[in-house]
Amino acid sequence: MASHGKSPGHTLYSQATQRLGAFRRPVPLAILTLILVLAAVVGLWRYVNEASLQTAQARIDRRALRITSDALRELNVMENVLRGASGLLETDLSITQKEWRGYVSHLHLADTLPMVRALGFATANGRFAPISMMTPTGSGIPAVGFDLLGDTARHASLDRAAGTATAALHAIPGDNRVDFELYLPFYKSIEAEGRANVAGFVIAVADVERLFDTVTRREPRVELEVFSGTPATLLYSSNTFGAAAGPTPLVRKTMTLNFGGEPLTLTYSATAEMLGPNDDNASTAVLVGGTASALLLGAIVFLLARDRTGMSGATARASTQSTLNEARMMGIIRSSMEAIITIDENQRIVIFNPTAEQVFDCSAMDAIGASLSRFIPERFRADHARHVRQFGVTGVSDRQMGKLRVLFGLRANGEEFPIEASISQIDDGTGKLYTVMLRDVTERVKADNALRRSRAELRDLSENLQNVREEEKTRIARELHDDLGQQLTALKMDLSSVEQLIQADSSAGGEIIRQLRGMRSLVDKTVASLRRIAADQRPVMLDDLGLIPAIEWLANDFTSRYGINVERHIEPAAIEFNRMAATTVFRIVQEALTNVARHAEASRVTLTIRSDGGHCILRISDDGHGAAKLDAPQRRSFGLLGMRERARILGGSISIDTEPGQGFAVTVTFPVKALQQEETHP
C-alpha cells in the first residue's frame, strides 16, 4: 500500500501540519510548550499531594479507632467494678462504713483504675436516693446524705440506668476538672429486676482527664478533644500541639463513643508530619524537576523553531515544517500508552501504533491494510460495523473511555480479551478517518471478578460463623444447665445436711446456723442466675419444645425483667420451622426486644407472627419515642445489621417503620419454603 502515492494517514498528518502553521514562530511555540508541560507538572504535583493527604487520613483513622476502643474498654472495666459492688449489696445491704472501706481498699483502684476517684452507693426510697456510703471523700465528690434524685440532670441519668439495667454515664463539669459519674442499679433480689424493684445505685466518680490521658499515652502525636451534650460542651483536651501548633491541623477524624446513654464526641486532629513519614519531598522534587524540564524543553523548542525559520526559501521552510510536524505527530502516536488504530471509511487499518502491536500481538506490517474486523470477535462484528456507520452520520458514540462499558477484542492468536474503547473521526477531504483508542482492561476485569467472589465468600463465611456461634451457645447453655447447675444443687443439699447436724447439737452456736442459711440463700440466687444465663445463651426449650414456646418464654421473661407488657398475636401451627429457621427467628425477636429495653422507653410491645401466602411475616413494634434517619453513620446499629444478615441467610428481608415520637417497628418477611426445607449437613 505504501508504494502507491500518499496514504490516508499521510494526508491526515499534512492537514494537522497546516493547522499548526500559526505556531511556526519560535517564541509562541516555546511559550505553548512551556505552558503545556507546566500544566502536566502541576497536575502531577497535585496528585502526589492528594496521595500524601489520603495516607495521613488513613493513619489518623486507625489511631482514632484504637484510642476510642481503649477508652470504651476502660469504661467497661469501671462498669464491671460497679457490677461486682451491686452483687455485694444485693446480698447484704446492711454493710457498715468500715466494711465498705475495706471492700474498696481490696479493689486496689489506685493500681487498676487510677482514674476512679471514689466509689459509693445510694439507697433508693421512692422519690429520694440519698448517698449512704462514699469512699474516699473529697472536693467535687458528692457527700454522704446528698440526694441524687434532687439534681435534675442526675435524675435523668439514674432513671435511664434503672430502665435499662445497665450503667448510665453523667458528666459533671467543675471549676478545675470534669468528672464522670457512673450509676448502676442494684435490686431487692436477683429475681426481681426491673424499674419498680430498684433498691439503690452504685456510684463511681471518675476523673475525665486521667481517663483520656491514660488512653492517649500511646499516641502522643494526636490531639484529642472530647465533647458531650447539645450544645457541645468541651470535657477534655489533650493540648498536644500547644502554642507550637501553627496553622490548623491538616487531617481530622471525629468518632462517637456510645456508653451509658451519654454519647461522647471524640475529635482527633494532627498534622501529616506528626503522623509519620510524608511525601513532601516527593512533591517538591516533582515540582522543581518538572519546572526545570519545562524550561529546558521550551528552550529546545525555541532553538529548533528559530533554526527552522532561518532557512532560506519558502519551499524549504514549508517542507521542513511539514516533516517536523509529521514526525511530532508520529512520535506522539508511537509513544502513547493507549492502543491507537485509525481506519478509513471501508474499515481498513491505516495506522497501528506500537501499543496496539503489543495488545493484539500483531505487527503493524501485518495489520496495516487489513480489515479491522480481524481484531473483533465474530459475534460482535456486525454490531461494530453498524456502530461505526451510525457514528459517521451522527457523530455521537456511547463508547467513551472510563464509562465502564467493557467490549472485547481478538488477539492474533485467537484469544479474546476485555477492552475499553473511545472513537473519534476527521474528514481530510478525501473521506472520513476513524481513530479508535483502546485499553486492555483484562487485569481490572479479573480484579472485579475476584472482588465479587470475595464478597460471596465473605457472606458464606458470615453464615457459617452464625451457625458456629449458635452451636457454641447451645453447648455452653447445656453445660451450665446440666453440669454446673447439678453441682450447685448438690452443694445446697450438703449445706442443708450440715445445718441439720448443727441444729441437733445444742452446743453449736446460732451464728453458724445463720451463716449457713445465708450461704444456702446465696446458692439459690446463684442457681437462678445460672439458669437465666443459660437461657440467655440458648433456651433449652427452643430445641426441646420448638420456636413458639421459646418465644412465649422470651416474652414472659422480658415482661418480668423490664415491666413492659408484650402483646402477642401468633398463629398456632401456621408453619413448621426447621432448626436453623427457628434459631434465626428466635434471635431476631431476642435482639428486637433487647433494643426496646435499651433505647425505646416503651410501655407496650406488640409481637406478631403470621403467614401470608408463601411468606411468613414477623413484626415487633413498640410505643416508644421512635427514631429518625437510621441510615446516618452516627446512628448505625450493629444489632439491626445482625438482624438483616440473619434474615438474608434465609432469603428474607427487613423493613423498618419509625418516626420521632411514633414508636419503632421492625417487619421481617421470610419465604415459607426456606423455613420448612430440610437442613443439609456436610
Secondary structure class of 175 (helix, strand, coil): coil
At 434 the pLDDT is 84
Q: Is the peptide bond before 377 cis (omega within 30 degrees of 0)?
A: no
Higher pLDDT, 518 or 557: 557
Is 595 domain-assigned?
yes
Q: Which pLDDT does position 299 carry in this prediction?
A: 79
Q: Are residues 408 and 462 in the same domain?
A: no
Q: 418 and 388: one domain?
A: yes
Clarify whether residues 612 and 593 are in a common domain.
yes
Contacts of 460 (CB under 8 A, 6+ apart): none
Tens-place pLDDT, residues 463-509: 666 666 666 666 676 666 666 666 677 676 767 777 676 766 655 56
One domain for residues 450 and 428 = no
The C-alpha angle 535, 536, 542, rounded to 5 degrees, equals: 55
Choosing from 440, 456, 485, the residue where a domain stops is 440
- The neighbouring-strand residues paired with 269 are 223, 252
pTM of the model: 0.40
CATH code of 409's domain: 3.30.450.20
Q: In what order do the strands lie in the sheet with 264-270?
A: 233-237, 223-228, 264-270, 251-257
Confidence check: pLDDT of 608 > 90: yes
Do residue 456 and residue 532 come from a single domain?
yes
Place of cell 456511547: 398
Closest CA to 595 of 629, 565, 620, 617: 620
pLDDT of residue 566 exceeding 80: yes
Identify whether 31 is part of a domain: no
User: How many domains is the chain built from?
Assistant: 4
State percent of the chain over pLDDT 70: 76
pLDDT reported for residue 17: 45
Q: Render pLDDT for 350-377 as a digit per residue (tens, 0 to 9).
A: 888 898 888 888 988 888 888 888 888 8
| The pLDDT value given to residue 122 | 92
252/145 same-domain check: yes
Pairing verdict, β 349-352 and 604-612: unpaired
Please report the pLDDT score of residue 174 as a whole number: 72
Range list of H helices, 249-279? 272-275
- 121 shares its domain with 232: yes
Within this chain, do residues 491 and 563 fall inside the same structural domain, yes or no? no
Which structural domain, as residue segments, surrounds residue 635? 545-682
Using the predicted structure, report yes or no on whether residue 292 has a pLDDT greater than 70: yes
**Distance, CA of 171 to CA of 34 (rounded, Å):** 62
Residues 552 and 572 in one domain: yes
Report how far Cα 346 is from the mean position of its chain's Cα atoms.
55
Of the residues 248, 274, 300, the one at which a domain ends: 274
The reply to whether 432 and 447 lie within a common domain is: no
pLDDT of residue 401: 45
Q: Higher-confidence residue: 631 or 273?
A: 273
Residue 304 counted as domain residue: no
What pLDDT score was predicted for residue 19? 47
pLDDT digits (tens, 9 = 90+) for 376-393: 888 887 877 777 777 766
* 428 plus 481 within the same structural domain: no
Q: What share of the chain is helix, strand, coil (3-state, %, to 5)?
A: 55, 20, 25
Question: What are 252-273's pLDDT values in tens digits?
Answer: 889 999 888 888 999 988 876 6
Residue after which a domain boundary falls, among 274, 295, 325: 274
Q: What is the DSSP string of 295-323?
A: HHHHHHHHHHHHHHHTSSSHHHHHHHHHH
Q: Which segment of 179-193, 247-261, 318-332 scores lowest on mean pLDDT?
A: 318-332
Per-residue pLDDT of 28-57, as tens digits, reads: 777 887 788 888 878 877 777 777 778 888
Residue 519: CA count within 13 A, CB half-sphere: 17
Residues 6 or more apart in contact with residue 1 via CB below 8 angstroms: 7, 368, 369
